[in-house]
Amino acid sequence: MVLLSLAYHSLRNRLLTTALTVVSIALSVALLVGVEQVRRGARESFSNTISQTDLIVGARGGSLQLLLYAVFRMGSATNNISYESYQILARHPAVEWTIPYSLGDSHRGFRVVGTTEEFYTRYRFRRHRKIEFAAGRAPREIFEVAIGSDVASALGYKIGDAVTLTHGVASGRGILDHDDRPFRIQGILARTATPVDRSLYIPLEGMEAMHMDWADGAPPMPGEETPAASIRKEHLQIKQITAFLLRARSRIDTLRLQREINTFEDEPLMAIIPGVALNELWRTIGYAEDALSVVTAFVLVVGLLGMLVSLYTSLNERRREMAILRAVGAGPRTIIFLLVTESGLLALAGTVLGVGLAYALALTAQPLVERHFGLFIPLVRPTAAGWAYLSAVVVAGVLIGFVPAVKAYRNALADGLGVRL
């Protein structure tokens, strides 16, 4: 207890060096914790975005690409799939339900998703949570739209507002706006903290209607469009969708269904198991993560070495102090203990501050990440391994303290009570 107070006062006496040492350890610990935080937070966030879906089906291509555009609204599909193929698979006896997605258009940077009633009733995220409405209802008519909560708050939309959708997925107002066929907002979805919040949802027929009269990839000439008022659901024939989510009646059939879809004869399709595809994603990123971890570890070593240097160089000016301590009865062991306590305290303070810093940074970054990616990175508690790493930092600090401590002990033995100045 005396030694703890001595160590504390001694450190406070060298406030600047102490502060700098603590900050350097804190920064390296913050980096360590921050990287882990982002890594685990991102995984949890990605995993939480889609639940209870056994297969994601799209045109044949990269499985990662399919996962990203179908679930995370990132990137885009290279090909659509025909509505007939979709219907064949949706009616497959082993299939419980499907949610079709028709993608490719946007509104002021937010993706537009053509889908069906199934989306509002079947889609699950964070294990069991389903889509709910903060206001209004699901769109029923062709030119009705439901918007995600981010879209509503970012653009200040209310129920009843009319929105114009843009061809393509530009970020902002487009040049080719479908302004001849505005959509009316009928529903605003409750916040999900997933990319669902960053999209607008229209019926599949709406998507089809929007592109009606287009020929060879160009919009109809002014005056040649079919007036919106005269378009009826019954007249529209859905030709294609981009992807669909699928749930099997029994999961025992998942692999069989996947195989059937992958070898579908009418057109090249691909089915992926979301968890497996995500795992693939993490493994791809894993190498970069490992490299980052190594860098982080080195930064930590540098921080601890900084502490060693600062304690070691302070010893010369503290020879007198050691002689006084010996005169009042401190043995060499007490002196060793004092220095080890000092370095332990520095490491502990650095670690605590570092963890605080990491969480503060994570809290600051949270809204930014959410605004840009629609991903809510949760603040995750350190795992058992995380705590072990943090304790290891403090233990390393204590162990490092033995280097200057042994030096001080040798000094004290050689100096006795007579330090010449």
Partner 1 sequence: MKAAALALAMALCASGQKRADWVQLRGYNYKTGRINADARSLDRAEVAMVGYMVPFDDDQSTTVEFLLVPHYGQCIHTPPPPPNQMVLVRMEAGRRARVVWDKPVSVSGRMFVEEGKGALGRPLYRMVGTRVDEVTGY
Partner 2 sequence: MTPAAGRGWAIEMEDARFSYRGGPEIVRIGGLRVEAGEHVFIFGPSGSGKTTLLGLLAGVLRATSGRVSILGQDLTAMKPSGRDAFRASHIGYIFQLFNLIPYLSVRDNITLPCRLNAERRRRLNGTPMEEAAGRIATHLGMGSLLGENVSRLSVGQQQRVAAARSLMGTPELVIADEPTSSLDFDHRERFVELLFQECREANSTLIFVSHDQSLMPMFHRTVSLTEINEAM
Number of residues lying near partner 1 (CB under 8 A) = 34
| Nearest-angstrom CA–CA distance, 258 and 255 | 5
In the complex, what is the shortest distance from the CB of residue 416 to partner 1, in angstroms, rounded to a whole number?
Answer: 58
Q: Is 42 a residue that touches partner 1 (CB under 8 A)? A: no
Q: Give 60's contacts (C-beta < 8 A, 6+ positions apart).
A: 79, 268, 269, 270
By CB under 8 A, name the binding residues for partner 2.
Answer: 2, 6, 9-10, 12-13, 320-321, 323-334, 416-418, 421
In the complex, what is the shortest distance from the CB of residue 377 to partner 1, in angstroms, rounded to a whole number?
Answer: 15
Q: Give 281's contacts (C-beta < 8 A, 6+ positions apart).
A: 46, 64, 67
Structure tokens at 313: 């160089």
In the complex, what is the shortest distance from the CB of residue 305 to partner 1, in angstroms, rounded to a whole number?
Answer: 35
| Nearest-angstrom CA–CA distance, 231 and 364 | 48
Q: Give 233's contacts (C-beta < 8 A, 6+ positions apart).
A: 141, 142, 205
- What is the contact mask toward partner 1 in residues 269 to 298, using x (rule: CB under 8 A)? ----xxxx-xx--x----------------
Q: Give DSSP secondary structure letters for 108-170.
A: TTEEEEEE-HHHHHH-EETTTEE--EEEE----STTEEEE-HHHHHHHT--TT-EE--EES--
Sites for partner 1 among residues 79-108 (CB under 8 A): 93-94
43 binds, among partner 1, partner 2, none (CB under 5 to 8 A by kind): partner 1
Rank residues 356 and 378 by Cβ distance to partner 1 and give the closer one. Answer: 378
Q: Is 43 a residue that touches partner 1 (CB under 8 A)? A: yes
Q: Give 330's contacts (C-beta < 8 A, 6+ positions apart).
A: 338
Sites for partner 1 among residues 125-144 (CB under 8 A): 127
Query: Closest by alpha carbon to 84, among 195, 188, 227, 239?
Result: 239
Structure tokens at 232: 């009826």
In the complex, what is the shortest distance from the CB of residue 263 to partner 1, in angstroms, rounded to a whole number?
Answer: 8
Rank residues 269 and 347 by Cβ distance to partner 1 and give the closer one. Answer: 269
Query: Closest by alpha carbon to 393, among 340, 342, 337, 350?
Result: 350
| Nearest-angstrom CA–CA distance, 251 and 125 | 18
| Nearest-angstrom CA–CA distance, 152 and 138 | 15
368 binds, among partner 1, partner 2, none (CB under 5 to 8 A by kind): none
In the complex, what is the shortest distance from the CB of residue 197 to partner 1, in angstroms, rounded to a whole number?
Answer: 18
Rank residues 129 and 184 by Cβ distance to partner 1 and give the closer one. Answer: 129
Binding segment (CB under 8 A) for partner 1, from list 151-159, 254-262, 321-329, 403-411 = 254-262
Whole-Å CA distances, 178 to 80, 102, 139, 156: 20, 16, 18, 20
* Buried/exposed code over 327-339 (b: 16+ C-beta within 10 A; e: otherwise): eeebebebbbbbb
In the complex, what is the shortest distance from the CB of residue 23 to partner 2, in angstroms, rounded to a whole number?
Answer: 21
In the complex, what is the shortest distance from the CB of residue 275 to partner 1, in angstroms, rounded to a whole number?
Answer: 5
Binding residue (CB under 8 A) for partner 1 from 26, 30, 50, 188: 50
Rank residues 188 and 271 by Cβ distance to partner 1 and give the closer one. Answer: 271
Q: Is 54 a residue that touches partner 1 (CB under 8 A)? A: yes
Structure tokens at 10: 């001694």
Rank residues 15 and 252 by Cβ distance to partner 2 and give the closer one. Answer: 15
Binding residue (CB under 8 A) for partner 1 from 1, 2, 252, 384: 252
Binding residue (CB under 8 A) for partner 1 from 196, 204, 248, 340: 248
| Nearest-angstrom CA–CA distance, 145 and 115 | 11
In the complex, what is the shortest distance from the CB of residue 304 to partner 2, in angstroms, rounded to a whole number?
Answer: 24
Rank residues 98 and 258 by Cβ distance to partner 1 and give the closer one. Answer: 258
Task: Return residues touching partner 1 (CB under 8 A).
Answer: 43-44, 46-54, 93-94, 127, 248-256, 258-259, 262-263, 273-276, 278-279, 282
